[in-house]
Structure 1
């Protein structure tokens, strides 16, 4: 099974490549993160400031998908900026000219209305300031940018063409909430392509 062409797997590097146009690796750390950071994760990323976390948050299908699944993947950027300067520098920038306001403005512009050839297009859906529960330092500013990335997919990229391919998935159906109950394994007979 080939998952390299599936929507999430193929969209992530395109998003990061787009962000790198204005957020160079020499200054900005960009990593995949969960939608909600634990305080331990947040502490680690805050210390890597300026930091951009990329989180996949969900998928919204197009109601007219039919046999081809179409819709939008929902993504979120978590922007973290920490300064050792004045508290206002968190937002307006420090000696390097960085600050959360500039990071936010640039991230929104980079992700709005981008057409990634053969992959889909993006649209910013929300941007807002957030707080980290359990974090008390005044030198941190945090924001998030939510955006969508359209996609259309079929089973074809998975290269599942034979019964053996499906068997390799190892699907077992639990027929009861009892973990000791019998299970049933399905043998699938996919329709033959003409």
Structure 2
């Protein structure tokens, strides 16, 4: 059965795939908007090197019918920064990771990985990019475009049959908190639901 919220599931799946190769404490990996504003980009540049994961769009197949089959398009932005040596920002050195090996590693790790209940990630493009208006010569930007073919939503009708559940999914975080807080365990009584 396809995931009810494939966008969140894809985001949550990508970081653990990358972490063995992009060490925590050196690399920041986080969700980012797409496109990013210049202010957002400047904020992220305070903690380099970093990888931003952005969901771009869902392109629905023309003959998908009610199932909403199509391609999720994502973008992985990679930024390396090395003010000491201009070559180091591309190739890496003892001061910082380089853009080229980071791009190649991320693309190789993600391409062809199958996400349970989602689909298979495909790298569709990888290359250098830039942030218009940002002028730090020590920073270089790379972009990896990804797609995954999947069904969006609920083909079995469970969401339509349970609208209160659908509202909960869009209003609350159903995963345990990642920051160590205790999860909320209160019972939520839905209007019109019969008592157990």
Normalising by structure 1, report the TM-score.
0.76
* C-alpha distance 167-39 of structure 1, shift in aligned 2 (>3 A): closer
Cα distance change on mapping 1:139 and 1:154 into 2, 3 Å: closer
1:104-148 deviations in Å (ceiling 9; x for gaps):
000111121111232211111111211111112210000100010
5 Å-filtered alignment, 1:40-189, equals 40-96=39-95, 98-155=97-154, 156=156, 159-161=159-161, 165=164
Q: Give the Cα–Cα distance (whole angstroms) in 2 for the partners of residues 42 and 80 of structure 1.
A: 10
The gaps in structure 2 that reach 5 residues or longer are 169-196
Cα 1:44/1:69, change in 2 over 3 Å:
same
Q: Could you tell me which residue of structure 2 aligns to residue 178 of structure 1?
A: none
| Cα distance in 1, alignment partners of residues 153 and 88 from structure 2 | 48
Residue 18 (1) aligns with residue 17 (2): yes
Higher Rg = 1
The 3 A distance-change label for structure 1 pair 17 and 158 is farther
Classify 1:76/1:154 alpha carbon distance in 2 versus 1 (closer, same or farther; 3 Å): closer
Higher strand share: 1
Query: Which sections of structure 1, spanning at least 5 residues, go unmatched?
Result: 170-194
| TM-score normalised to structure 2 length | 0.75
Match of 2:193 in 1: none
Q: Equivalent residue of 1:149, what SS?
A: strand
Give distance in 1, aligned partners of 2:81 and 2:157.
Answer: 42
Alpha carbons 2:82, 2:138 under 8 Å: kept:
yes
Write out the 4+ residue segments of structure 1 that deviate beyond 4 Å after TM superposition: 166-169
